[in-house]
Chains A and B, each alone.
Chain A
Amino acid sequence: MTKVKKILRLFQEDLVVVNLGLEAFAEALRKEDVKVLQMNWRPPAGGDQRLIALLDRLEK
């Protein structure tokens, strides 16, 4: 059987959201009284896919 303990815990908690991308989604959540942090996201490694793959290998 699939474990769902953490999902059930989420259903009991207040949502606390990190928004990565379109700001409109953060604004909507704020209007609905959700605590939300907007990230200032940028493509990693200047968007260079080879460098990103290298970063991922280093992080592992």
Chain B
Amino acid sequence: MEKVLVLKNAYFDSAFLMLVSKAVKQLPGILDAALVMGTEVNIEILRGIGLLGPVAQSVSPNDLIIAIQGQSAKTLNHAMDAAKKLLRQRKTGIEEEGEYRPVSLQGALRIIPDANLVVISAPGLYAAREARKALDAGLHVMLFSDHVSLEEEIALKKKAVRKDLLMMGPDCGTALINGKPLCFANVVRRGNIGVVAASGSGLQELTCLIHHFGGGLSQAIGTGGRDLRREVGGLMMLTGIEALTQDPSTKVIVVLSKPPDGQVADKVHARLKQTGKPCVIHFVGLKAVPASGDAHFAGDLEETAAMAVALSKGLPYRGVKAFCTKRDAVVKQETRDLGAGQKYLRGLYAGGTLAEEALVLFEREGYDIYSNIQMNPEKTLKDPHRSFRHTIVDLGDDRFTAGRPHPMIDPDIRAQRIEKETAGPEVACLLLDFVLGYGAHEDPCGALLKTLKEAKDRAQKRGGHLAVVVSITGTEDDPQNRREQSKKLESIGCVVMPSNAQAARLALQIMKKVTP
């Protein structure tokens, strides 16, 4: 049975509501629970999952819907009270802090007139309007929200260019401005490498690897994933390159994106040639080509970082120090005890660009990889929730995150998928990424430890062995501490590689032994 309650004019942000939903769902006798604002999309989702029937009163996007499914009226009442209590705690928390929280941007600017940047993560429906207001007030914008239309994005970026302001996003998950991490970002060294990137997890991996290789960042500007599409024309990418060109603290410029529109790529190349600074370009999925003047092309994120660091120190690029000495021994160890039926790879990713980097690597070696991010419709997973043969899946895809937190925040999506993948005997190797830093889960590796250990034990009981190859995007200075996270995974026999590219290459070597 279900119980639905509508609280009028009770706005809460979606991240908080997801936490409360999760807490309520875990109460005894509760089958499902959702606390969402009453937008049309949310109402549709609730109806879709059978949590909401016809609601008598009219519901507005400013009303909170609490929908709970449980075994009895008693458990439902108890859960409803628990939900209300959790909501009240939040309200009290705000008052206790004592800081006045303005409801409008104008109000905020009266309190801190020296503000220079607005970070916006309001629901997509309202986000463009707030970004427009911020630009009109002369503020730089980081727009984390997604579900902003392409037309709105173009209008916002044109306005920003006219006003000489940064318009990072929409759907910009990470940036480092003046060394400060914005939204999902890692704690990395400051230095003389400036990056403009149209890729979130790609930028996080790149900045962390620059840090590991001994380099540092002057600025890391995010543009949002659609910036290099023909319609947007690379407006923020070109603005970012111009700013880094004129920035005296930036010695090397790095450009990172998924494969761009051809015309836009030409514009970016032409602009980079005029910077007078060494540049490194990486379009995820495209092969490296020989350098042209000061422009160097890298084949993966790790190579991008290594090239940038070498250039930033005025040193020749000598390639990435790979894991080659121990690699053969590790491959042997991981394949020695595989069972006869263990033949497939399953890449379960939280970072979209990282998933793509692994997919491209396997495809170049002739593997058919089924995925939810495949360009080839024949190899697109019919149901992203079910793997087929060799599969690499981006669990941060909209189809997994509608109404649920991103797997970088909530490990549950991936834990369930790992259980599903390893319930049967066909998987030989799991390939995983872990992303640390601000915004991410407080202990992402620890949270999956039990699941991974159980999966390995199941394989062993069947007389086989499950190889688990991982990369950790993060630094020792991140709140989660990369070294500590790595130790946890190693303690249960996971192979932790220094980068996603190397993790994917090791998994490839393992798979070559299985299906040469």
Residues of A in contact with B (beta carbons under 8 Å apart) = 1-8, 10-11, 13-26, 28-29, 31-32, 34-35, 37-44, 46-49, 52, 56
Chain A: minimal CB distance from B153 (Å): 17
- Name the interface residues of B130-157: CB closer than 8 Å to any CB of A: 130, 134, 138-140, 144-145
Chain B: minimal CB distance from A52 (Å): 7
Q: Is the CB of A44 within 8 A of B9?
A: no
Q: Is the CB of A37 within 8 A of B112?
A: yes
- Name the interface residues of B216-260: CB closer than 8 Å to any CB of A: 218-219, 238-239, 242-243, 246-247, 249
Instruction: Please list the 8 inter-chain residue pairs (A to B) with the smallest Cβ-Cβ separation, ordered nearest first.
Output: A47-B61, A21-B121, A40-B101, A28-B438, A3-B164, A46-B62, A4-B243, A6-B164
Chain A: minimal CB distance from B134 (Å): 8
The 13 listed contacts between A and B (C-beta, < 8 Å) are A2-B242, A6-B164, A10-B117, A13-B178, A21-B121, A28-B181, A32-B180, A37-B112, A38-B99, A40-B103, A41-B122, A43-B11, A43-B61
Q: 11 extra interchain contacts, Cβ-Cβ under 8 A, other than A10-B117, A18-B134? A: A4-B164, A7-B165, A8-B243, A8-B247, A15-B116, A21-B122, A23-B16, A32-B180, A38-B101, A40-B94, A43-B61
Q: Which chain B residues lie closer than 8 Å to A20 at the CB level? A: 105, 118-122, 130
Chain A: minimal CB distance from B106 (Å): 11
Q: Is the CB of B439 within 8 A of A24?
A: yes
Confirm or deny: B129 has a beta carbon within 8 angstroms of a beta carbon on chain A: yes
Q: Is the CB of A7 within 8 A of B112?
A: no
Confirm or deny: B509 has a beta carbon within 8 angstroms of a beta carbon on chain A: no
Name the prevailing secondary structure of the A interface residues: mixed
Q: How far is the CA of A54 from the CA of B121 in the complex (A)?
A: 23
Interface string of B165-190 (1 = CB under 8 A from A): 11000000000011011110001000
Chain A: minimal CB distance from B241 (Å): 9
Q: Is the CB of B242 within 8 A of A1?
A: yes
Chain A: minimal CB distance from B301 (Å): 23
Q: Is the CB of B112 within 8 A of A35?
A: yes
Residues of B in contact with A (beta carbons under 8 Å apart) = 9, 11, 13, 15-16, 37-39, 60-62, 94, 99, 101-105, 107-109, 111-112, 114-123, 125-126, 129-130, 134, 138-140, 144-145, 161, 163-166, 177-178, 180-183, 187, 218-219, 238-239, 242-243, 246-247, 249, 438-439, 479
Name which residue of chain A comes closest to B187, CB basis.
A32
Q: Is the CB of A25 within 8 A of B243?
A: no
Q: How far is the CA of A6 from the CA of B135 in the complex (A)?
A: 12
Contact of A10 among B104, B166, B182 (CB under 8 A): B166
Contact of A15 among B103, B126, B177, B243 (CB under 8 A): B177
Chain A: minimal CB distance from B65 (Å): 13
Q: Which of B101, B109, B111 has the most CB of A within 10 A?
A: B101
Q: How far is the CA of A56 from the CA of B136 in the complex (A)?
A: 13
Q: Is the CB of B144 within 8 A of A18?
A: no
Chain A: minimal CB distance from B265 (Å): 18
Name which residue of chain A comes closest to B108, CB basis.
A18
Contact of A21 among B9, B101, B115, B145 (CB under 8 A): B145
Q: Is the CB of A11 within 8 A of B243?
A: yes
Chain B: minimal CB distance from A25 (Å): 5
Q: Which chain B residues lie closer than 8 Å to A35 at the CB level? A: 112
Q: Is the CB of B126 within 8 A of A37?
A: no
Q: How far is the CA of A18 from the CA of B206 in the complex (A)?
A: 27
Q: Which chain B residues lie closer than 8 Å to A28 at the CB level? A: 181, 183, 438-439
Q: Is the CB of A2 within 8 A of B238?
A: yes
Name which residue of chain B comes closest to A42, CB basis.
B11
Q: Which chain B residues lie closer than 8 Å to A49 at the CB level? A: 125
Contact of B161 among A2, A11, A31, A37 (CB under 8 A): A2
Name which residue of chain B comes closest to A14, CB basis.
B178
Name which residue of chain A comes closest to B166, CB basis.
A7
Q: Is the CB of B119 within 8 A of A19?
A: yes
Chain B: minimal CB distance from A17 (Å): 5
Q: Is the CB of B178 within 8 A of A11?
A: yes
Q: Is the CB of B112 within 8 A of A18?
A: yes
Q: Which chain A residues lie closer than 8 Å to B38 at the CB level? A: 47
Q: How far is the CA of A3 from the CA of B9 in the complex (A)?
A: 43
Name which residue of chain B comes closest to A59, CB basis.
B133
Chain A: minimal CB distance from B474 (Å): 14
Q: Is the CB of A47 within 8 A of B243?
A: no
Contact (A34, B116) CB under 8 Å given A8-B243, A22-B15, A47-B61: no
Contact of A18 among B16, B109, B122, B219 (CB under 8 A): B109
Q: How far is the CA of A15 from the CA of B123 in the complex (A)?
A: 24
Q: Which chain A residues lie closer than 8 Å to B140 at the CB level? A: 6-7, 10
